[in-house]
Amino acid sequence: MSEKYLAGFIDADGYLSIRARKGARPDMEVSVAQRSDFITPLVELRDMFGGVIREKYSGEHFELQMRCGPATKCAERFKKYMVLKQHQATQYLDMVFDAPILRTDGEVAEFRQKVKAVKKKPNPDKRNFPPRKWMAGYIDGDGCFAVKKCKKTGYAYPFLIILAAENYTPGIELIQKAFGGAIRIAGLNSILQLQLSNPSKAKQVLGYCGKYLQKKYDVAHFILECAKNGNFRDGEAIRRTVSTLNSQQHRLSDSTVAVGDFINQTRFDIPKKSLGRPIGVKETRPRRKRQSNL
């Protein structure tokens, strides 16, 4: 895994902070959590810097915890590639290096308030386009691919969804700036929904970052191959395949062959259905005016 990919993954599923204790100098903390079916990034980071991987929620999730030296090295290595947490990493490192021993409860409380203040500020990132490998790591962490099937035409409408917590919206805003889509608010979170139903849009987005995905490589590869074949008209087969690939949530043993089998089971020769009034049909009475909601 590249450093840019891991930086995107930490932006999505990582947590940066500083541990402040009475009678000690503050030290850096970095933790990364992920479901049990995809702990490869956690193992990769542990092998690079150290730390401990622990089970959470009865083994459904795992969390890598790094403190002191390992956490400091991790933040120093990846801060230049981060989009969401770059300012946190930079300011926390400066705070740790400059901090004295905290000798009173008041000093500990004051230092913790400074840490919280940094966390509340969004990263002032000025990029116009997301790095490819960073975007792949970010999607693997906080994104998912889904498909809706149109009842009228039977076509499949694939889309990408990325969830962003409060104060961490610059990531989805950067992707929206580059590829479009709509951002909506859901409670304290923001959600980017990027439609991939137009084959040219699917090829633009997945051709940009798809080959760098790890956890969601197979489903992205399948959607991209459908786009290259020209359409998403076999809605039920595409919806079923995406559901199957999502349930696996990791690369297949032979991904190219497996996705190729799914492509072979998908029809691309379905004729395009015409929309609107059929040609030659004459109206026998005036249309009823649509009622206004105003």
Residues 6+ apart with CB under 8 A from 259: 218, 221, 222, 225, 252
Q: How many CB atoms lie within 10 A of CB 201?
A: 18
User: What are the boundaries of each domain within the chain?
Assistant: 3-120, 132-264
Residue 204's pLDDT is what?
Answer: 94
Query: What's the predicted TM-score (pTM) here?
Result: 0.84
User: What percent of the chain is modeled with pLDDT above 70?
Assistant: 90
Structure confidence by residue, pLDDT tens digits, 209-233: 999 998 899 999 999 999 999 888 8
- Which CATH fold topology does 3-120 show? Endonuclease I-creI (3.10.28)
Assess whether pLDDT exceeds 50 at residue 294.
no
Q: Which CATH architecture has domain 132-264?
A: Roll (3.10)
Residue 277's pLDDT is what?
Answer: 61
* Edge-to-edge strand list for the sheet holding 182-186: 143-149, 156-164, 189-195, 182-186
Assess whether pLDDT exceeds 80 at residue 284.
no
Residue 290's pLDDT is what?
Answer: 63
**Average pLDDT of the chain, as a whole number:** 86
Lowest mean pLDDT among 94-103, 104-113, 118-127, 195-204: 118-127
DSSP string, 80-134: TT-SSSHHHHHHHHHHHHH---B-SHHHHHHHHHHHHHHHHSPP----SS--HHH
For residues 234 and 270, the answer to whether their CB atoms sit within 8 Å is yes
In whole angstroms, what is the distance from residue 145 CA to residue 139 CA?
A: 9
Sign of torsion, CA 83 204 184 239?
Answer: negative
Same fold, 3-120 and 132-264: yes
In DSSP terms, which residues pair with 144 in a beta bridge?
161
Residue 127's pLDDT is what?
Answer: 76
Structure confidence by residue, pLDDT tens digits, 253-278: 555 557 888 888 888 888 887 766 66
The pair of structure tokens assigned to 223 is: 């959607």
SS (H, E, C) 132-152: HHHHHHHHHHHEEEEEEECCC
Lowest mean pLDDT among 3-17, 82-96, 253-267, 273-287: 273-287
Structure confidence by residue, pLDDT tens digits, 26-65: 999 999 888 877 888 898 899 999 888 888 877 678 888 9
User: What percent of the chain is modeled with pLDDT above 90?
Assistant: 37
